[in-house]
Amino acid sequence: EADIYQTPRYLVIGTGKKITLECSQTMGHDKMYWYQQDPGMELHLIHYSYGVNSTEKGDLSSESTVSRIRTEHFPLTLESARPSHTSQYLCASSAGLPGGEKLFFGSGTQLSVL
Amino acid sequence: AQSVTQLDSQVPVFEEAPVELRCNYSSSVSVYLFWYVQYPNQGLQLLLKYLSGSTLVKGINGFEAEFNKSQTSFHLRKPSVHISDTAEYFCAENSGGYQKVTFGTGTKLQVIP
């Protein structure tokens, strides 16, 4: 089973607040990812990391930022949340040969910005 | 740009009936294909994947998928579904090496008792 954890599970906040979504994995995977998931839409990659001190933006533009100071930890931060940020955020990790590796997903954080 | 098409957003099926969830991919080069399942209030987990070799791939929970290069399809099948199979199923492809996984929009499978 996957050992990747996301907190909080649900978050309701007001516009303009700064928030951090936590993601941790205990599998020692080098690669970690953040996806945004909306109903009826494909998952969109918003950030990824190949290892410590490595972060890149994904295919979908996002106002969020990420950091990777430790292998196991990949938090996502929104400096000033807006209603347009309301979505489900999924964290994932992987290891193995490029392209064919299995993604391990956390349970997600459902964010609602009022 | 690579894309994955799941034409059916919802598929209702009676318990113990067979089911096929359709997936078409766009890449014209070598491609890795995946099916993931998302149960309610959970993250996605891998059902099966095709990397190379046999075009018929068997996964967990009795699911299988067939890679068809001429039709650019990777349909998911199960001969007899259970209530516990009720979930959302995502097809995905990777043809760009590192991290470039493209997901479809998902198909919600509803198993009717």
Does the distance separating the beta carbons of A107 and B41 come in below 8 Å? yes
Most A-contacting residue of B8, B26, B57, B101 (CB-CB within 10 A), to test interface: B101
B81 pLDDT more than 90: yes
Question: Which tops the pLDDT comparison, A30 or B78?
Answer: B78
Look up the domain containing A92 and give its range: 4-113
Mean pLDDT of chain B: 91
Does the distance separating the beta carbons of A106 and B43 come in below 8 Å? yes
Q: How confident is the model at residue B29 (pLDDT cuts 50, 70, 90)?
A: confident
Does the distance separating the beta carbons of B94 and A102 come in below 8 Å? no
CATH of the domain at B17: 2.60.40.10
Mapped to the 3 state alphabet, what secondary structure does chain B carry? Answer: CCCEECCCCEEEEECCCCEEECCEECCCCCCEEEEEEECCCCCEEEEEEECCCCCEEECHHHCEEEEECCCCEEEEEECCCCHHHCEEEEEEEECCCCCCEEECCCEEEEEEC
Give pLDDT, residue B77. Answer: 98
CATH of the domain at A44: 2.60.40.10
Q: How confident is the model at residue B51 (pLDDT cuts 50, 70, 90)?
A: confident
Point out the least confidently predicted range of A6-15, B53-62, B95-104. B95-104
Instruction: List CB contacts (< 8 A) between A106 and chain B.
Output: 43
Instruction: List CB contacts (< 8 A) between A54 and chain B.
Output: none
Distance of residue B62 Cα from the nearest chain A Cα, in angstroms: 18
Using the Cβ of B29 and the Cβ atoms of chain A, whether some distance falls under 8 Å is answered with: no
Q: How confident is the model at residue B42 (pLDDT cuts 50, 70, 90)?
A: confident
Q: How confident is the model at residue B11 (pLDDT cuts 50, 70, 90)?
A: very high
Give pLDDT, residue A100. Answer: 72
Nearest to A105 among B45, B49, B106 (CB): B45
B61 pLDDT more than 60: yes
Using the Cβ of A102 and the Cβ atoms of chain B, whether some distance falls under 8 Å is answered with: yes
Q: Is the dihedral of CA B6, A33, A109, A36 positive or negative?
A: negative
Look up the domain containing B63 and give its range: 4-112
Give pLDDT, residue A28. Answer: 92
Report the b/e string of B10-29 with b at 16+ CB within 10 A: ebebeeeeebebbbbbebee
Give pLDDT, residue A40. Answer: 83
Distance of residue B56 Cα from the nearest chain A Cα, in angstroms: 17
Using the Cβ of A50 and the Cβ atoms of chain B, whether some distance falls under 8 Å is answered with: yes
Give pLDDT, residue A98. Answer: 66
Give pLDDT, residue A61. Answer: 75
Domain total in chain B: 1
Instruction: Report residues of chain A scoring pLDDT below 50.
Output: none
Domain total in chain A: 1
B27 pLDDT more than 90: no
